Structure 1
Amino acid sequence: MADVSEGVDLSICDREPIHLPGAIQEHGLLLGLDSGLKIRRFAGEIDAVFGGGDLIGRPLGDVMDIRSLELGAEEPLAKFIGTLTLSGESFDTFFHRSSEEFVLEFEHAPARRRTGEEVLHILGPLMKRIADAEDIQTASRAAAEGVRNITGYDRVMIYRFLADETGQVIAEARAQDLDPFLNHRYPASDIPRQARSLYLSNPVRIIPDVAYMSQPIIGGDGPLDLSGALLRSVSPIHIQYLKNMDVGASASFSLMRDGELWGLIACHNSTAKPIAHEEREMGSCVATALMQSVGRLEEDSNQREAVRLMRRREELLPVVAASDSVTAGLQRHRDEIRRLIDADGVALMLDTEIVYSGVTPPEAAIRAIRQWLSDEGLDQVATPSLSQIYAPAAEWTSAGSGLLARVVSWSPRLIILWFRREEVETVNWAGNPHKSLQPGQTPGMLTPRHSFELWAETVRGTSRPWRPAEQDAGTRFTASLAELGRQRTLRDLNRRLTSEVAEKDLLIREMHHRIQNSLQIVISMLRPQDGELSEDRVRERLGQARDRVLSVALVHGRLWRSEDLQNLNLETFFAELTEELVRTWPPEWQDQVSLDLDAVKISAHRALLIALVVSELLTNAVKYAYAGSAGPLQLSLRKSKGDYIAVTVSDRGSGKGPTDVHEGFGSRLVQRLVDSMGGELTVASNNPGTSVKMRIPLAGD
């Protein structure tokens, strides 16, 4: 802020605790109550309403009839709870909670209230005008005219906050003898940050008489937070501001969108003028309707722009993708990239090379911007005034005041810089914004400016702003480029991997066939032909060796056919194993083996060990269970609790004693294999026959 004398505290407005004024306006009364509804503090002309005497500590019910009031609500904002007659006067009554206290406020009721029919007659057509508006300007003008009709104030403005926290009057309804404020800009200091915060938390503020005498709050242990109060006394600086504007009464209704303060419906009157509760509620309805319309119009506009930008992007990406490389595609279509978001120029940093389209800063400046982005760790920048955040940009504002930067990749380097030229703007301020606050008579204190006459200022170094849809389009385009680059890299990698895998696949197939052939040769050699071997002992040993090699061959074949090279499905593996074993047995055994198997996956290593045990048990059952004859055998597989499996081989033969069974069915090889897997082997009678069960953990070494 220029032209302010040395020693003046420029931050006093932002630091002023306006929610703790310690006083109320004089058009009402206030009582502060504890949780038991005893009076802790008061403000206003209490004696005239409640009679003399000390009110502090007295129950509220002792000083007024509260039976008709709903005092249980704990709303953070003053809520209308009814109209009371006190000492012959009617008061509208409001109640809310402030920290640990309840606040009861009384406001003089109007002599005449609008009927419900009158309210609907006013609001119905007004709501329709606002809802049917085709642009924000039309909707705002309808809202301003409607609120002026409701309040009877001389001037009602729709005041919109801009991105730099300044405000602008975008619509106005006024008396003919008043000078227009339409399109006037106001500095951010006119509405300090803590005032904006209060507008967010309490959307209605009234000052029916700017010349009021504040009424101090008496009693209490500390300052009372009046953020939610109706009668809160206003900052002396703001009162002086209104007086300097020749305003006698003021009111405002907050305009909020997505939880943020979009603007205000600001009402001014040249003389004192109250606004009754009903009129304030009507004004709040208008504010809500306006913001609904604004939301719809802004969303419709953003949607249309987003669709337009999306179509441009969808037309551009395929032609870039069709090029030999992403870099070549960007170079070839640089003009389309510039036009993607209506930029005046674009610079594409493709590793060490820079290519341009349109109006851009010089190459040295482009490389300096790249270094600045890197030093600051910035992947995205969107600003209409680059020189405000990057001082060297002040040297070439005519070529690039606005910057939209998107980093696709730092290595290899791919950065897109869109530029917009400076657009010299004339801003019509309501008074000199550099003198919005001036030294007061008290040293170190400030008073608001006295003049609000039109003050034109030429603003340089600023471009057209980057709208949200344009920023999003830049982000989506660069994200698509990054994905396109990844896809090309993956395609190249897949092409190489496919070639290498094909070569390895040929080698593995050759190895598989050789292993299978070798195993089949061994099995054939171990399968004695009739009459070749005369000794039963030798024949038995060769048969056992053949079955074990067969199990190994089956595991290898199953792994080869499976997509999972680490695990086997025991259900299908057991089915194949028994089928192969039965082929080596005498023909009468072909239909004697039944299977009852759960689907269980287990590691290939453990599957091989289990297969060896099952082969051994089935082979022994064939030899001993039915004394050389054929009979039913059953192989079952169950998954049990605790990540265990149970494999059982049983017959319905003559049965054997436990010792003989252990020697015959549970050979030392079987026992060692089961022990190596951390399992248990049990032999039991099957009545008739024998049942051998092994319980093995699914996981293990």
Structure 2
Amino acid sequence: MNGHTRNESRPAQDTGWSACDREPVHVPGTIQAHGLLLVLRMDPGDGRPLVVAAGGNGLDGKAPPSMDGLLEPEGVALVERALSDPGAVADPVIEGLVSRDGRRWTGLLRRDRADILLELEPEQATDATSIRRILLGLNQAIASLQHQTDAISACQVAARHVRDITGFDRVMAYRFMADWSGEVIAESIVPGVDSYLGLVFPASDIPAPARALYASNRLRLIPDARSAQVPLVSPAGPVDLGQAVLRGVAPVHLEYLANMGVQASMSVAIAGLPDGADREAGAAGPATPIPALWGLLACHHQHGPLFIDHVRRQAAETLAQALSWRLGWLADAAAGRRIAMIQDAVAPILGSEAGPSVAVSADGVEATAGETLLRACMATGMAVFGPAGMELAGPPVRIGALPSEAALLQLVDWLDRQPAGPLTTDRLPSLLPPVLLEMLGTDHPCGLLATPLATSAADAAGAGGWVLWFRPELRREVEWAGYKATDLPPGRELHPRASFAAWREEVAGRSATWGADCIAAASYFRETIVASLLRRSRQIAREATQLRRRNEAISFFADAATHDLREPLWQIQVLSGLIRDGLRGLFAEADPAEAPRHPAHEALVREVADLELETMSGLIVTSAGRMRAMIDDLARFAVAGRDVDQIRAVSLRRLADEALDDVGEAVRDVRDVSLSFDGLDGVLVNGDPAQLRRVFQNLLSNAIKYREVSRPLGVVVSAHRHGTSVRVDVIDNGIGFDPADRVTMFEPFRRLHHPTSVPTEGLGLGLSICQRIVEAHGGTIEATPLAHGARISFTLHDPGIVAAAGPAEGHHDAV
């Protein structure tokens, strides 16, 4: 689905928990007391790290210490080496650091924009045996995950193994829902610890800013919720600690943990999209920038503090990542099964073996196919409204239990006025205006999955059509882990709830949540219908485009032909008039009033008249020849590529030789010319000999016309096999062309002009004729400018690929 956004379902009260949504938890100004944190920046002078902010027990709290004043020289050298090593891992771990007071530390380096965070945690004695035990447990957990067939069992495996690795009293798999409330779907606990399995926690328990931090830091550890937080001394201002393990904890969260009886906690992000996560009407944007937070592995410890070293934390993160992959695979498999159901049902509904048809008729829907469609999306009703102007327009496809047609039409009108994109909701009545809700009736649907048939924003601006899936109301009891935050008494700015005892609430006016697998199936069905609509609309568009191009071509043809034929016709008209006037004056009787002409004068006048008549007659013949050539070009253009039915295997060499004979006179007019045929011998192609010969004629003629007069003309014609086709290259060293003309030069009546080329005549149809002929043979043609000249390349089918209609023509000896 496109456009994943969120819409928080909790009322927008300004109680303590709505204030939590505005709390800048990434800049707490404190760190946890069990470690030291240094914020470093590289000195532009000597390139050494400078401490610009620091926090931790044992520091004076007035000014950040220097690296040399805090760590032993060997430790400073280790840090500097890690910072300067270009091959170091992204977040290196530095073992064996010792501070000036003798405490031993493990350092964690993280880069965050211009800042470098160096976090020092107490060194833990983790021997090789312990590490092997952790890796063995991790390996067993990942292997077990691969055999789980549903999300709950996979989460149960992950919860059990995370507890084994870390030693927490309780590890829960906490799955987010569409409104960011979360349900505990799996749990591993030690005896004597209360179970939270099956309980639902409101979205306010993990506010949006806290969820957002999991984008940059997938694990959050609080080893001791009862220890005091230590200020971060930062003269330069607040420091973003979003990526820091030691990031301080907000007082409200510490109080929350105390109310739960939890002294240590850890949570690890599970990547993936929560069920039902999509756009709801009126949603202005995501409630959090996290696009993929399926849930959390939430760990609690009630029996004292519990520090988890970086080795165990990394193992827990790796296991959470493996769980994310398995959940993604299970979701994809579930979606695949539902899409297969759509595929089974769509053929009887949308068309025949020839492909889906847009002529969908409710009367033609088989009951079994309709039931399969509904089962694929776990819906009780489905309706399709086609876009205006398409064959689907009119009465919608209707399957299952649906509101009245009038109500459906009003619902579609309401959807058209919502923000563009799909809409998925399990609480439709709360979104609709009262008038429309009344039209839907007392048994109105509560779940709606609406996917638009519009394929662009422009289409969506109008009546673009919709596929609507409906679900009925599903009344159910939700067992909350204590009262919801919105039920707390107001009066304190940030105040967590104190009760976590199970509290049941009956939820009405909502349907079952749309799962990702059902959303994928509905999206596939929508794409199937869109494909049908696009196929038809593209066909209509192609026909309209072809008709428009033909009209434009006819108009352009008429204009160009009129222009180019008018000049020689005008010359013929003028010269004919001059001849007529000259003859009239020559043979007119002498005027009696004029003096008699001398016989020598009469002879001279006749001789001059004869020369003028001969010159003008020659010009008339030339103009008439030009007109005939133009008319021949127009005739060739009109039939180029048509009636290509004399297909047979033909020799490329013979075609080139015959074309060379045709342009032989033009070749002889060129003083210095080199013409070679490379690789043409023995190469056959499928085609109409006469039309393919015309392609070679035009390309050789163009090479002669557009030669560079300052150098000898060189033309090379070559052939190469490429898979199932033969490529022919005609390369010359002429004037070339501008790369911007690569496409337009094949348009009719396009003539290239160059100051150093030979003056040419013609209509500019040569390349257009070549293109029509080659494309009619199923090939392609293109032009490539070279440093000196041009290359025209075209492809034709190999006779071994396309069956020949007749015997191959014989080979013609090279000229």
Instruction: Give the TM-score of the pair, scaled to structure 1.
Output: 0.69
Is there any run of 5+ residues in structure 1 with no aligned partner, and where? 48-52, 509-535, 582-588, 611-636, 645-675, 682-692
Cα distance between partner residues in 2 of 1:552 and 1:285: 82
Counting matched residue pairs gives 579
**C-alpha distance 312-351 of structure 1, shift in aligned 2 (>3 A):** closer
How far, CA to CA, are the matches of 1:112 and 1:595 in structure 2? 83
| Residue 479 of structure 1, CA deviation | 0.2
Is the 2:36–2:57 Cα contact (8 Å) retained in structure 1?
yes
> 399, 404, 411: which is aligned to 1:369?
411
Structure 1 562/194 Cα, relative in aligned 2: closer, same or farther at 3 Å? same
Q: Report the identity percentage.
A: 29
Q: Residues 264 and 562 (structure 1 numbering): CA distance in 2 closer, same or farther, change over 3 Å?
A: same
Contact 1:397 1:421 in 2 (8 A): no
- Structure with bigger strand share is 1
1:202 equivalent to 2:217? Answer yes
Superposed CA RMSD in Å reads 5.0
Residue type of the alignment partner of 2:302:
S
Residues 416/296 of structure 1: CA separation in 2 closer, same or farther (3 Å cut): closer
Q: Which among 308, 313, 333 is matched to residue 300 of structure 1?
A: 333
- Match for residue 294 of structure 2? 262
Structure 2 unaligned regions, length at least 5: 1-7, 43-47, 274-290, 386-391, 559-609, 642-655, 677-694, 706-730, 739-750, 766-815
Q: Give the conservation status (yes or no) of the 8 Å contact 1:78–1:228.
A: no
Instruction: Kindly state the Cα deviation for residue 347 of structure 1 after the two structures are TM-superposed.
Output: 3.6
Aligned twin of 1:37: 49
Measured in 1, the distance between the counterparts of 2:184 and 2:735 equals 75
Residue 249 of structure 2 aligns to a residue whose secondary structure is coil
Shift of 1:253: 1.5
State the 1:565 CA deviation: 7.8
- 1:90 aligned onto 2:104: yes
Counterparts of 1:426-437 in structure 2, within 5 Å, are 426-435=477-486
Q: Kindly indicate whether residue 499 of structure 2 is the aligned counterpart of residue 455 of structure 1.
A: no
Which residue of the partner structure matches residue 46 of structure 1?
Answer: 58
Q: Structure 1 residues 322 and 247, CA, compared in 2 at 3 Å: closer, same or farther?
A: closer
In the aligned structure 2, how far is the partner of 1:296 from the partner of 1:93? 36
Q: 1:81 and 2:94 equivalent?
A: yes
- Once the two structures are superposed, residues 109-165 of structure 1 have per-residue CA deviations (whole angstroms, 9 ceiling, x without a partner) of 235546332233322222211233222222211111001111111100111222221
* Pair 1:110-2:120 in alignment: no
- 1:277 positional shift: 2.3
Q: Is the 8 A contact 2:335 2:520 kept in 1?
A: yes
Sort the Cα spacing of 1:299 and 1:432 in 2 relative to 1 into closer, same or farther, 3 A: same
In the TM superposition, what is the alpha-carbon distance from 1:173 to its structure 2 partner?
A: 0.4
Distance 1:679 1:103 in 2: 66
DSSP 3-state at the match of 2:351: helix
Report 1:47-446 matches (<5 A): 56=63, 59-68=66-75, 69-71=78-80, 72-73=82-83, 79-86=92-99, 87-98=101-112, 100-111=114-125, 113=127, 115=129, 116-257=131-272, 260-271=292-303, 272-319=305-352, 326-327=358-359, 329-333=361-365, 336=369, 339-342=372-375, 343-349=379-385, 351=393, 353=395, 356-376=398-418, 378=420, 380-392=422-434, 394-395=437-438, 396=441, 398-408=443-453, 415-435=466-486, 438-439=489-490, 443-446=491-494
Residue 660 of structure 1 corresponds to which residue in structure 2? none
Tell me which residue corresponds to 1:668: none
Distance apart, 1:413 and its partner CA: 8.0
SS at match of 2:242: coil
1:316/1:695 Cα in 2 relative to 1: closer, same or farther (>3 Å)?
same
Distance 1:316 1:183 in 2: 41
The whole-number CA distance in structure 2 between the counterparts of 1:542 and 1:452 is 113
The one of 556, 559, 584 equivalent to 2:634 is 559
CA distance in 1, matches of 2:292, 2:469: 29
Q: Distance in 1 between matches of 2:11 and 2:180?
A: 21
Equivalent pair of 1:209/1:273 in contact (CA under 8 Å): yes
Deviations 1:439-487 (A, max 9, x none): 4xxx541311111122222222323316231231232132033135436
Post-superposition CA distance 1:502-549 (Å, at most 9, x none): xx9xxx9xxxxxxxxxxxxxxxxxxxxxxxxxxx99999878866764
Alpha-carbon separation, structure 2, partners of 1:197 and 1:143: 23
Question: 1:302, 1:469 within 8 Å by CA — same for their partners in 2?
Answer: yes
Report the Cα offset of residue 425 of structure 1: 2.8
SS at match of 2:294: strand
Aligned partners of 1:431 and 1:459: how far apart in 2?
Answer: 16
Q: Secondary structure at the match of 1:21?
A: coil
Change (3 A) 1:562 1:639: farther
The answer to whether the 8 A contact 2:271-2:292 is kept is yes
Contact 2:383–2:397 (CA<8 Å) still a contact in 1? yes
1:193 shift after superposition: 0.9
Q: Residues 697 and 429 of structure 1: is their aligned pair in 2 closer, same or farther, counting only changes over 3 Å? A: farther
Q: Relative to 1, partners in 2 of residues 1:142 and 1:62: Cα closer, same or farther, differing over 3 Å?
A: same
Match of 1:132, SS state, is coil
8 Å Cα contact 1:571/1:600 also seen in 2: no
Q: 1:698/1:181 Cα in 2 relative to 1: closer, same or farther (>3 Å)? A: farther
* CA distance in structure 2 between the partners assigned to 1:332 and 1:408 by the alignment: 21
In 2, Cα distance between equivalents of 1:102 and 1:280: 21
Partner of 1:622: none
Q: How far apart are 1:360 and its partner, in Å?
A: 1.0
Residues 537-616 of structure 1: matches in 2 within 5 Å?
549=624, 552-562=627-637
* 1:194 Cα deviation from its structure 2 partner: 0.8
Paired AA for residue 251 in structure 1: M
CA distance in 2, matches of 1:355, 1:133: 39
Instruction: Provide the secondary structure at the position in 2 that maps to 1:211.
Output: coil
Describe the shift of the 1:699–1:187 C-alpha distance in structure 2 as closer, same or farther (beyond 3 A). farther
Secondary structure, aligned partner of 1:303: helix
Q: Is the Cα–Cα contact under 8 Å of residues 571 and 599 in structure 1 kept in the other structure? A: no
